[in-house]
């Protein structure tokens, strides 16, 4: 399986910090944010990665990660997103890299406490379709910033993007798994009201065909790009974990 790390976007929710660099290069405790996504996938056994980014700071990722060998990556590729067209458009740039294989897609501002190896292995054993990683979240205000699962019994029937009234407590994290059908889906998408191709629409395509499994992950999960407050909350969590490892 190939891994795709998405590190684009303007980072407007973290302004003015992002006026000087890409948000995924901002520090979380003692190292750049993107390295946590890299580490999580490598530790899960994903050895071939593509990083998709854009904007004026794209070259800084190459300066940081190089060929990826220092981070345990076997083969590291890069793709440049010329405009802010959304997460799904960014994923489309990885089609040649994935080359008909299955892929794991992770947003580079996501931090997970739990090791991702078991989720990766579950998808590898899945016959076909997609797998979405969810997190149980108590605060309605937080859910209103996420895609939220609408359930019928123990099945997801759709993902509702940024709902005013969340249909459940299960929010979508920034970790997705797709089989080779995803490359058929992406060209059929139409831009949302934001003018972007939404990753939620990709999952809903699979849901319409009853081809989605889901995993509700335990432990801490944080989206450091959601807001300034979320960025510092994730930073505090990472600091507590890394200081604990050092003692």
**DSSP 3-state of 156:** strand
DSSP SS3 for 107: strand
Check residue 245 and give its pLDDT. Answer: 73
Quote the pLDDT of residue 176. 97
Question: Could you list the residue range(s) of the whole structural domain that residue 205 is in?
Answer: 2-246
**pLDDT score recorded for residue 55:** 87
Q: What is the pLDDT of residue 247?
A: 53
So what's the pLDDT on residue 52? 96
What's the pLDDT score for residue 159?
A: 94
Please list the ranges in the chain whose pLDDT falls under 70. 85, 193-196, 246-247
Whole-number pLDDT of residue 149 = 95
Helix %, strand %, coil % of the chain (to 5): 35, 30, 35
The total of structural domains in the chain comes to 1
Query: DSSP string spanning 63-77?
Result: HHHTTSGGGT-SEEE
Domain harbouring 46, CATH code: 3.90.550.10
**Mind listing the pLDDT tens digit for each residue in 82-110?**
877 678 888 999 999 999 899 999 999 99
- Map residue 196 onto helix, strand or coil: coil
For 11-44, write each residue's pLDDT tens digit.
788 999 898 899 999 999 999 999 999 999 999 9
Q: The tokens 């891994």 sit on which residue? A: 3
pLDDT at 156: 94
């Amino acid at each position: 399986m190939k891994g795709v790390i998405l590190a684009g976007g303007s980072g407007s929710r973290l302004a003015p910090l992002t006026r000087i660099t890409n948000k995924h290069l901002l520090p979380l405790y003692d190292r750049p944010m993107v390295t946590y996504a890299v580490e999580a996938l490598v530790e899960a056994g994903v050895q071939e990665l593509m990083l998709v980014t854009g904007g004026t700071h794209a070259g800084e990722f190459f300066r940081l990660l190089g060929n990826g060998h220092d981070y345990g990556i076997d083969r590291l590729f890069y793709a440049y997103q010329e405009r802010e067209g959304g997460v799904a458009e960014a994923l489309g740039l990885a089609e040649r890299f994935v080359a008909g294989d299955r892929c794991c897609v992770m947003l580079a501002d996501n931090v997970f406490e739990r090791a991702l190896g078991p989720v990766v292995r579950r998808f590898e054993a899945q016959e076909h379709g997609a797998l979405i990683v969810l997190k149980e979240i108590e605060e309605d205000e937080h859910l209103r910033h996420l895609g939220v699962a609408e359930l019928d019994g123990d099945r997801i029937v759709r993902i509702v993007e940024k709902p005013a009234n969340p249909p459940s407590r299960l929010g979508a994290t920034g970790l997705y798994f797709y089989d080779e059908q995803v490359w058929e889906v992406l060209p059929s998408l139409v831009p949302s009201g934001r003018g972007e191709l939404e990753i939620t629409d990709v999952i809903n395509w699979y849901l319409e065909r009853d081809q989605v499994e889901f995993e509700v992950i335990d432990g801490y999960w944080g989206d450091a790009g959601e807001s300034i407050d979320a960025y510092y909350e994730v930073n505090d969590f990472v600091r507590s974990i890394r200081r604990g490892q050092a003692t």
